[in-house]
């Protein structure tokens, strides 16, 4: 969510904040705002598609700062879209903005774009660090506000909607939360994070002591993620301030300020709505009144008891009850073990596929992973080959369809995709969604590997935590178009080996003894990285191929999660993939093939590389 122009206005004025020392407190954190902020701060390369290692390190440092100040963080993440899908126009607009940003980056222009697997890497980092988190069933704002008020602690976010919520301990914008500058405290209180807290009282005082109960009406009238009332343009064109100028005229933020001043003359929202409706046509008035009423409820803190989730692991909300999903699906969604993509496909039969920095003249990188998504849809919506056999003439009517929003060249396009019918072996009565949990692991593993086109035997020599990425890599090689070339494949495998080397040499456990040759190899690798840090060449076709790999890995992760992880989940935070490194290795392999021997001083890593190469080559 977000209120148009409010963040800019509040930051420009600067006088609506109070200084705050954050320590010895609980802190409710908007997870989406945090991972965007930390990713953008952890890299300056947004073209090459995902340096998840440095991002995970930044996540660790952030929560390390909180721990030093005895701050107990509780992260709350957005879930899927609301069942009524009111936010769809806003989401389509944001997808179009990301598409423009990706196109600009592909042409060498500036811009920022969060890479595809950032959210998954963030969830894994939270789990590894032991930070409590919950994934809400839908939009998280109201539940964040409800939990913060229950505990009487601040909200940390970067969302102007929290300027409007009635928060007992206030809203701290991430832009003013100086977690990298922890200050030593005096006496027993200890260290603190310097921060600033938005003051609703100062804000309302500035606008002629505006009653804060009118702020939700202001948010709705001004325009937010849920509502953009064209009918109110009549109001803005007609209403005038005391000074005689129209609300919508004048300097920057004039409309926002004019609206707040106009509202300040009313004692409460009902009175203001009655006055507003007089400017509209009679046949519109009751419909607009009802729309304003329901939209203002979006700024009422939720009565969902997140405290119960953090204490007992139970997440209950009205929307989840109405959705009538299997208990294990609801539990997995709340614990972040299933992505919002799954609930969107299941409840709305509609999904967004996020764009990357790819070749806009080629089909979307997501098209490579389409068969994996179709199996996911088949599992969620229960399709069997027996159904087709029973009535071939009605086959197309009986296969459920999911609406996907993806790019077609440089525009956002809606496509309807049929769910896959599952192989007969997987279509007994167990394969209704609520009984999926009872299906033997061997059957679930077989479905995963058959989807990826991989025989179980070829994964036997692969370490368990790399089996899923290797299986996905085999799929990528077979299904990508244009075909993967050997330099791209070797660059990706060498990146994976460097992640392995980092994982075993960077283990904080003092009891783990590292082989000397592994340490030597890792130090040599770090020196090699430092020598040629800048990569001037950007190969858009190679970037497109690596984007396809990430799309396949994302859907491989989702399918594996849906099947209760028959293969170990790979750790994105341990440098399994690094966009900057894979691009550099690709460029160097083209000119200096000996780079393939980068880890030759470690016999163990050389063996790992050869095993990986032989497996995918087979």
pLDDT of amino acid 44: 87
**Higher local confidence (pLDDT), 10 or 252:** 10
**pLDDT tier at 512 (50, 70, 90 boundaries)?**
low
The structural domains of the chain, with segments of one domain joined by +, span 6-282+284-298, 327-382+399-617
Token pair, residue 166, equals 């009635």
DSSP class of residue 422?
Answer: B
Rg of the Cα atoms in the chain: 26
Name beta bridge partners: 607. none
Q: Over 50: is that where the pLDDT of 388 sits?
A: no
Question: How many C-alpha atoms does 499 have within 13 Å on its Cβ side?
Answer: 25
pLDDT of amino acid 244: 44
Q: Which of 48-57, 318-327, 394-403 has the lowest mean pLDDT?
A: 394-403
**Average pLDDT across the chain, whole number:** 91
- Dist CA 24 CA 208 (whole Å): 36
Q: Which residues contact 101 (CB under 8 A, 6 or more apart)?
A: 111, 112, 113
pLDDT of amino acid 254: 87
By the 8 A CB rule, do 590 and 487 touch? yes
- Dist CA 597 CA 606 (whole Å): 8
Q: Which residues contact 498 (CB under 8 A, 6 or more apart)?
A: 525, 575, 578, 581, 598, 599
pLDDT of amino acid 508: 62
**pLDDT one-digit tens code per residue, 408-423:** 999 999 999 999 988 7
Q: What's the whole-number mean pLDDT along residues 83-99?
A: 93
Letter string b/e over residues 98-108, b meaning 16 or more CB atoms within 10 A of that residue's CB: bbebbbbbbee
**pLDDT one-digit tens code per residue, 591-609:** 999 999 999 999 999 999 9
Q: Over 60: is that where the pLDDT of 391 sits?
A: no
Q: Which of 363, 359, 393, 398 is nearest to 381 (CA)?
A: 398
**Higher local confidence (pLDDT), 359 or 238:** 359
Q: Which CATH superfamily is domain 6-282+284-298 in?
A: 5'-nuclease (3.40.50.1010)
**pLDDT tier at 225 (50, 70, 90 boundaries)?**
low
Q: What's the whole-number mean pLDDT along residues 343-366?
A: 97
Q: What's the whole-number mean pLDDT along residues 270-287?
A: 91
Q: Over 80: is that where the pLDDT of 438 sits?
A: yes
Q: What's the whole-number mean pLDDT along residues 255-261?
A: 91
**pLDDT tier at 471 (50, 70, 90 boundaries)?**
very high
**pLDDT tier at 233 (50, 70, 90 boundaries)?**
confident
pLDDT of amino acid 390: 38
pLDDT of amino acid 383: 57
Q: What's the whole-number mean pLDDT along residues 325-329?
A: 94
**pLDDT one-digit tens code per residue, 202-217:** 999 999 999 999 999 9
**pLDDT tier at 396 (50, 70, 90 boundaries)?**
very low
pLDDT of amino acid 395: 43
């Amino acid at each position: 969510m977000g209120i148009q122009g409010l963040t800019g206005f509040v930051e420009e004025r600067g006088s609506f904040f109070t200084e705050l020392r954050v320590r010895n407190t609980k802190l409710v954190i908007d997870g989406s705002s945090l991972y965007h902020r930390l990713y953008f701060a952890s890299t300056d390369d947004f073209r090459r598609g995902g340096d998840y290692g440095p991002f995970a390190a930044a996540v660790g440092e952030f929560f390390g700062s909180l721990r030093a100040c005895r701050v107990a963080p509780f992260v709350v993440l957005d879930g899927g879209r609301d069942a009524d899908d009111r936010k769809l126009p806003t989401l389509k607009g944001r997808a179009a903005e990301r598409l423009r940003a990706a196109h600009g980056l592909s042409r060498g222009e500036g811009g920022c774009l969060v890479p595809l697997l950032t959210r998954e890497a963030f969830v894994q980092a939270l789990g590894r660090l032991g930070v409590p988190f919950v994934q809400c069933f839908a939009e998280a704002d109201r539940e964040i506000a409800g939990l913060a008020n229950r505990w009487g602690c601040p909200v940390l976010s970067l969302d102007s909607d929290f300027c409007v919520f009635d928060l007992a301990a206030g809203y701290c914008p991430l832009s003013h939360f100086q977690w990298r500058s922890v200050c030593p405290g005096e006496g027993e209180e200890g260290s603190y994070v310097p921060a600033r807290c938005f003051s609703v009282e100062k804000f309302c005082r500035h606008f002629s002591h505006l009653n804060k109960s009118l702020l939700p009406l202001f948010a709705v009238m001004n325009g937010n993620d849920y509502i953009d009332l064209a009918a109110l343009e009549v109001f803005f064109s007609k209403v005038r301030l005391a000074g005689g100028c129209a609300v919508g005229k004048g300097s920057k933020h004039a409309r926002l300020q004019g609206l707040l001043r106009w509202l300040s003359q009313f004692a409460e929202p009902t009175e203001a709505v009655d006055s507003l409706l007089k400017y509209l046509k009679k046949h519109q008035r009751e419909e607009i009144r009802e729309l304003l009423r329901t939209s203002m409820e979006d700024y009422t803190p939720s009565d969902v008891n997140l405290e119960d989730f953090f204490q007992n692991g139970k997440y209950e909300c009205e929307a989840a009850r109405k959705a009538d999903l299997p208990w294990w699906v609801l539990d997995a969604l709340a614990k972040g073990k299933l992505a919002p993509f799954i609930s969107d496909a299941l409840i709305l039969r509609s999904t967004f596929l996020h764009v990357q920095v790819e070749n806009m003249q080629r089909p979307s990188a997501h098209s490579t992973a389409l068969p994996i998504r179709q199996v996911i849809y088949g599992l969620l919506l229960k399709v069997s080959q027996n159904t087709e056999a029973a009535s071939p003439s009605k086959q197309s009517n009986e296969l459920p369809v999911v609406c996907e929003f993806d790019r077609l060249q440089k525009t956002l396009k809606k496509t309807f995709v049929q769910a896959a019918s599952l192989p007969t072996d997987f279509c007994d009565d167990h394969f209704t969604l609520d009984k999926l949990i009872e299906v033997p692991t061997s059957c679930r593993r077989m479905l995963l590997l058959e989807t990826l086109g991989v025989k179980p035997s070829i994964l036997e020599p692969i370490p368990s935590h790399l089996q899923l990425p290797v299986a996905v890599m085999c799929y990528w090689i077979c299904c990508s178009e244009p075909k993967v070339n050997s330099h791209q494949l070797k660059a990706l495998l060498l990146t994976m080996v460097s992640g392995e080397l980092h994982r075993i040499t960077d283990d904080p456990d003092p009891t783990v003894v590292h082989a000397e040759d592994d340490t030597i190899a890792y130090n040599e690798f770090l020196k090699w990285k430092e020598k040629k840090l800048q990569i001037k060449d950007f190969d858009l076709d190679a970037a497109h191929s690596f984007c396809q790999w990430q799309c396949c890995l994302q859907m491989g992760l989702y399918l594996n999660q849906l099947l209760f992880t028959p293969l170990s989940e790979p750790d994105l935070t341990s440098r399994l993939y690094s966009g900057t490194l894979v691009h550099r290795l690709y460029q160097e392999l083209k000119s200096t093939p000996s780079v393939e021997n980068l880890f030759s001083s470690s016999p163990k890593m050389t063996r790992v590389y050869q095993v990986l190469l032989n497996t995918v080559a087979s």
